[in-house]
Structure 1
Amino acid sequence: MKNILKVLLIEDDAIEVMKLNRAISSLQLKHQIVEANNGEEALEILKNKQIIPDIILLDLNMPKINGIEFLATLKKDEVLKYIPTIILTTSNNQKDLLECYKIGVAGYVLKPLKYEDYVSKIENLLSYWSINELIKI
Structure 2
Amino acid sequence: MPVSALNIMLVEDELADMHLIRFALNNGELPVSLHHACDGLDAVQYLEQHPVALPDLILLDLNMPRMDGKEFLKTVKHHPRWSQIPVVVLTTSDAERDVLDVYRLGAAGYVTKPSDMTVFVDAMHHLKHYWMQTVRLPGRVLSA
Contact 1:39 1:62 (C-alpha < 8 Å) held by counterparts = yes
Name the structure 1 match of 2:10.
9
The one-letter amino acid of 1:58's match is L
TM value normalised by structure 2: 0.89
**How much identity, in percent, do the aligned residues show?**
35
Name the structure 2 match of 1:88.
90
Give me the CA root mean square deviation. 1.7
Compare 81-90 and 16-25 and name the one that shifted more: 16-25
Distance 1:58 1:68, change over 3 A: same
DSSP-derived class of the 2:118 partner:
helix
State the 1:94 CA deviation: 0.8
DSSP-derived class of the 1:69 partner:
helix
CA distance, structure 1, for counterparts of residue 138 and residue 75 of structure 2? 19
Contact 1:36 1:42 (C-alpha < 8 Å) held by counterparts = yes
Name the structure 2 match of 1:71.
73
State the 1:22 CA deviation: 1.6
Contact 2:25 2:128 (C-alpha < 8 Å) held by counterparts = no
CA distance, structure 2, for counterparts of residue 116 and residue 25 of structure 1? 15
Name the structure 2 match of 1:25.
26
2:73 maps to 1:62: no
The one-letter amino acid of 1:23's match is A
Deviations 1:34-54 (A, max 9, x none): 000000000001111164100
Relative to its length, the structure with more helix (as a share) is 1
The one-letter amino acid of 2:92's match is T
2:98 maps to 1:103: no
State the 1:28 CA deviation: 4.8
DSSP-derived class of the 1:81 partner:
coil
Contact 1:3 1:130 (C-alpha < 8 Å) held by counterparts = no
Name the structure 1 match of 2:43.
42
The one-letter amino acid of 2:22's match is N
CA distance, structure 1, for counterparts of residue 26 and residue 137 of structure 2? 23
2:139 maps to 1:133: no
Q: What are the ranges of 5 or more consecutive residues in structure 1 without an aligned counterpart?
A: none
CA distance, structure 1, for counterparts of residue 61 and residue 16 of structure 2? 13
